[in-house]
């Protein structure tokens, strides 16, 4: 395998036009880069918005990164009005995890990270409960308990914002407090949540109870970017499990845990690999 320090990813979003692929791939070829993976998507066959992700190998990437960006901006990005970024594969995002009492998503992400599945630096775990302190310590990650007493959301969020300074992405690994609009604006980085239903069904609290009452034959979980409206942000990943009349609400909670942790892990992994682009409250996941 190529050394990862030679690998970078280019992400592009722009109005769809004639010649984009040729311009980008021509630029990379002339720069000596070799494209090893490419995905593209257009929202319409003609005249919509165009999205592209290219993974390329370039000798001396570290030294040439700055110049490459300057040249790309001038030669390609500006003429095509692109939103774009070039990210070296070695540039790990700084990730913080928020969790409440349930530990299944939290432990699953920490364990995947330890075994090298997640290309991130996990810099902090924040919880409104003290429960996971020793578990998290075993992974060598700082644990911050920030209780949210009734009426104390504002100071708790202020404390959390201090702790989250410098992170690139926040993951709500079954964090059961609703974050305020103010918090979301000030944190300034993408926040990924796992909701324990097959959205848009069963928004809000207690979705497994609602699913049981509705008598559905399949339950699910949804990972999405957090927006101000509850459980309404762009969906990154979903999965489901079959149930029957036999399962109690407690069974659904137990079965759901297995879906939740996998759906969240997939969503986080794709975000970290720069595979998710957002457009009008929907995602393109390459």
Does 35 contact a copy of itself by CB under 8 A?
Answer: yes
Which residue, 8 or 146, is less far from a copy of itself as judged by CB?
8
Q: Among the options 231, 239, 251, 273, which is catalytic? A: 231
Please give the helix or strand (H or E) that residue 282 lies within, else none: strand 282-285
Find the binder of a copy of itself among 63, 134, 165, 185 (CB under 8 A).
134
Find the binder of a copy of itself among 8, 13, 14, 41 (CB under 8 A).
41
Does 205 contact a copy of itself by CB under 8 A?
Answer: no
Does 215 contact a copy of itself by CB under 8 A?
Answer: yes
206 in catalytic set: no
Which residue, 107 or 171, is less far from a copy of itself as judged by CB?
107
Does 138 contact a copy of itself by CB under 8 A?
Answer: yes
Q: Tell me how far, at minimum, the Cβ of 106 lies from a copy of itself, in Å.
A: 11
- Long-range CB contact pairs, 255-259, < 8 A, 24+: 255/219, 256/196, 256/208, 256/219, 256/221, 257/102, 257/104, 259/219, 259/220, 259/221
d(CA 11, CA 86): 6
d(CA 190, CA 225): 7
Q: Tell me how far, at minimum, the Cβ of 88 lies from a copy of itself, in Å.
A: 16
Q: Which of residues 47-66 bind a copy of itself (CB under 8 A)?
A: 57
In whole angstroms, how far apart are CA 236 and each of 52, 130, 137, 200?
17, 30, 30, 13
Q: Tell me how far, at minimum, the Cβ of 79 lies from a copy of itself, in Å.
A: 13
In whole angstroms, how far apart are CA 164 and each of 81, 87, 123?
33, 22, 9
Q: Tell me how far, at minimum, the Cβ of 166 lies from a copy of itself, in Å.
A: 29
Contact between residue 197 and residue 221 where contact means Cβ atoms under 8 Å apart? yes
Contact between residue 139 and residue 64 where contact means Cβ atoms under 8 Å apart? no
Q: Which of residues 164-183 bind a copy of itself (CB under 8 A)?
A: none
Which residues are the active-site residues?
A: 231
């Amino acid at each position: 395998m190529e050394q990862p320090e030679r690998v970078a990813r280019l992400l592009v979003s722009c109005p769809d036009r004639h010649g984009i692929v040729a311009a980008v791939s021509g630029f990379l070829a002339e720069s000596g880069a070799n494209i090893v993976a490419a995905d593209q998507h257009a929202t319409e066959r003609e005249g919509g918005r165009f999205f592209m992700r290219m993974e390329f190998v370039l000798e001396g990437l570290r030294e040439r990164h700055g110049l490459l960006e300057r040249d790309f901006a001038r030669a390609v990005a500006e003429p095509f009005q692109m939103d774009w970024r070039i990210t070296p594969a070695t540039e790990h995002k700084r990730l913080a995890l928020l969790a409440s009492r349930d530990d299944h998503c939290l432990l699953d992400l920490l364990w995947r990270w330890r075994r090298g599945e997640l290309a991130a630096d996990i810099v902090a775990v924040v919880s409104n409960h003290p429960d996971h302190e020793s578990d998290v310590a075993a992974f060598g990650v700082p644990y911050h308990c920030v209780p949210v007493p009734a009426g104390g959301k504002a100071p708790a969020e202020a404390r959390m914002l201090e702790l989250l300074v410098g992170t690139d992405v926040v993951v709500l690994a079954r964090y059961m407090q609703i974050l305020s609009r103010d918090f979301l604006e000030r944190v300034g980085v993408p926040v990924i949540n796992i909701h324990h239903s097959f959205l848009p069904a069963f928004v809000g609290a207690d979705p497994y109870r609602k699913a049981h009452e509705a008598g559905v034959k399949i339950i699910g979980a949804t990972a999405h970017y957090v927006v101000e409206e509850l459980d309404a942000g762009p969906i990154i990943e979903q999965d489901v499990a079959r149930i029957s009349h036999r399962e109690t609400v407690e069974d659904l909670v137990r079965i759901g845990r297995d879906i939740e942790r996998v759906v969240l892990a997939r969503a986080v992994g794709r975000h970290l690999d720069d595979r998710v682009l957002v457009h009008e409250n929907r995602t393109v996941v390459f």
